[in-house]
Amino acid sequence: MTDGHDPAAPLRRTALHALHAEAGARLVPFAGWEMPVQYKGIVDEHHTVRRAVGLFDVSHMGELELRGEWAGHVVDYLVTNDAKQLVDGQAMYTCACNEAGTILDDLIVYRAAVDRWLVVCNASNRPKMSAVFRAAAVDHCEFEDRSDDTALVAIQGPRAFELLARAGSDAAGLAALGSFRFRDTIIANVKCTAARTGYTGEDGVEVFCAWKDAPALWSQLLELGRDLGCAPCGLGARDTLRLEARLSLYGNDIDETTNPLEAGLGWVVKLAKGDFVGRAALEAVKQAGLSRKLVGFEVTGRGVARHGYPLRDEAGAEVGVCTSGSPGPTVGKNIGLGYLPAAMAEVGRTFKVDCRGKLVDAAVVKTPFYRRTA
Amino acid sequence: MSDAKIPGDLFYTTEHEWARIEGDRLTVGITAFAVEQLGDVTLVQIDVKAGADVVPGKAFGTIDSVKTTSELFAPVAGKVVEVNGTLDANPERVNEDCYGEGWMVVIQAADRGDLAKLLGPDAYRAHVDASAH
């Protein structure tokens, strides 16, 4: 994997590193960080999140803060979604594009107040996005990269709110949070900000707290949730969970060679909102029509599609590429995402995945592969 | 450092396959260390049938876990005598019993001299310790 990080630089560690090691996690390099890929096993952790509640350390992600009267305008100009629609305490998913209309990063933008905004970016893109927002803020608003003192813990699963109910007096307030709403609160005696967001397809919250407070928050939640089936979960399960929910992974499904429209992220591109970086290019893409689309597919033959495998038509010609693929533990099938020509992107269309020279049957299916019922 | 089991009566390759040698025949599977690295095995595909020739360095199949796809290599050149067909429907046997029920193929070595090139348990342990870092 080339993620733009100096492979010779020492790996960074989150505030929870020692707790991960103690819990027997397998720690691997990820975007310049040493992160837990699994504790007990990916499938086990995947089911923990689908059936009970799992904790993820995602402190490696970047937190960028913009303050001042013009902060909202700066944010809105850099992202494709319409940040002007947000109210205090509301967040939204969006892309940030370059002038060519391809994706610099996918982000969640939070409006704490009209003059206080938070942008959460991918760990692999933090240096790039920190520079983009810093540059745009010059002469307009204050900018601070808060990544180094901000920890982030995701609490995900159908029993997440049962766990939160045990962890403090603001349980009712948290349970009343709407999707993509957030509030300052106290969980397990730790001052934090909780947002009803996630990357798993399950209900839950993502909690920002001070770096130094993360171990207390983490340990207490695990302790309080033990009989609920709460367990720590690694990046491996995070990947299978997000794939089943068809959530894009930057660097796999989207990057600076893909635009949000072909990636199925047109719903976060608001061409009519006013000018923003990449608007003209995306307008042109829309006028011209899409040449390819990111589709979800099921491998119907025997094989597992993986990132980078070629996709071929029935005649064997290379027509696209798999961007993500793995067994889906909940859906019980081998699933994937990949780019196919727009003319081949309709549900039911069959094609082949080139699994190391072996052509395996696959078919375009509706996504998400998994949708929670409650 | 891995505490994966490495039986003393087997031979090994640097690709983390094991071989149980009986005469000029080798029963081949993947080691506990390999299983530990793979995690939950979801699919075992052996692309050769009895009678096929295999050579080291050329994959005779693949093994998929949730996390990744790995290739399977023959420890020595030879002819496939038997394939473990039960792994088709029960890939989890590799996780449960990699040195027993999870065996993959039996190979008849083309040249018995090649068997001397396999790693013994101690040499393999050293290899695992080196690659676990």
Domain boundary among A220, A244, A268: A244
Is B92 a member of any domain? yes
Note whether residue B34 is domain-resident: yes
Residue A140 lies in a domain: no
Q: Which domain holds residue B84?
A: 11-131
Q: Are residues A239 and A302 in the same domain?
A: no
User: pLDDT tens digits for A153-197?
Assistant: 999 999 999 999 999 989 899 999 999 999 999 999 999 999 999
Q: Is B2 part of any domain?
A: no
Retrieve residue B107's tokens. 């190979």
Q: Is B68 in Cβ contact with A240 (below 8 Å)? A: no
* Beta-carbon separation of A236 and B40 below 8 A: no
pLDDT at B1: 52
Minimal CA separation from A155 to chain B, in Å: 22
- Inter-axis angle of helices A126-137 and A71-78, to 10 degrees? 130
Same domain? A344 vs A202: no
pLDDT at A53 over 50: yes
Q: Which helix (H) or strand (E) holds B38?
A: helix B32-38
Same domain, A40 and A176: yes
Alpha helix stretches (DSSP H) within chain A: 17-22, 42-51, 71-78, 126-137, 160-166, 171-175, 214-225, 235-244, 279-288
Residue B5 in domain? no
pLDDT digits (tens, 9 = 90+) for B46-76: 999 999 999 988 899 999 999 999 999 999 9
Q: Testing the interface with A: which of B42, B60, B66 to mutate, by most A Cβ within 10 A?
A: B66
Q: Within a domain: residue A42?
A: yes
Whole-number Å distance between alpha carbons of B69 and B67: 7
Query: What CATH number is given to the structural domain containing A355?
Result: 2.40.30.110
Which is it for strands A231-232 and A54-57: parallel, antiparallel or unpaired? parallel
Q: Is residue B4 part of a domain?
A: no
Residues A23 and A159 in one domain: yes
In a domain, B125, yes or no: yes
Counted domains in chain A: 2
Domain count, chain B: 1
Q: If pLDDT is split at 50, 70 and 90, which confidence band does A349 have?
A: very high
What does A97-121 look like in DSSP terms, one character per residue?
A: E-TTS-EEEEEEEEEEETTEEEEEE
User: Closest-CA residue in chain B for A46?
Assistant: B66
- Sequential DSSP letters for A225-272: HGGGT-EE--HHHHHHHHHHTT---BTTTBSTT--TTTTT-GGG--GG
- Is the reported ipTM for this assembly greater than 0.85? no
CATH number of the CATH domain containing A23 = 3.30.1360.120
pLDDT at A9 exceeding the cut of 90: no
Which chain A positions have a beta carbon within 8 Å of B40's beta carbon?
41-43
Residue B109: inside a domain, yes or no? yes
Name residues whose C-beta falls within 8 Å of residue A77's C-beta, 6 or more positions apart in sequence: A136, A275, A276, A277
CATH number at B114 reads: 2.40.50.100
Residue of chain B with shortest Cα separation from A235: B67
How far is the C-alpha of A139 from the C-alpha of A146, rounded, in Å? Answer: 20
Query: End of a domain among A209, A244, A279?
Result: A244
Instruction: Classify residue A308: in a domain, yes or no.
Output: yes
Please check whether residues A162 and A226 belong to one and the same domain.
yes
Per-residue pLDDT, B33 = 95
pLDDT at A2 over 50: no
A30 with A165, same domain: the answer is yes
A317 is in which domain, residue-wise? 291-365
Closest-CA residue of A relative to B36 is: A41
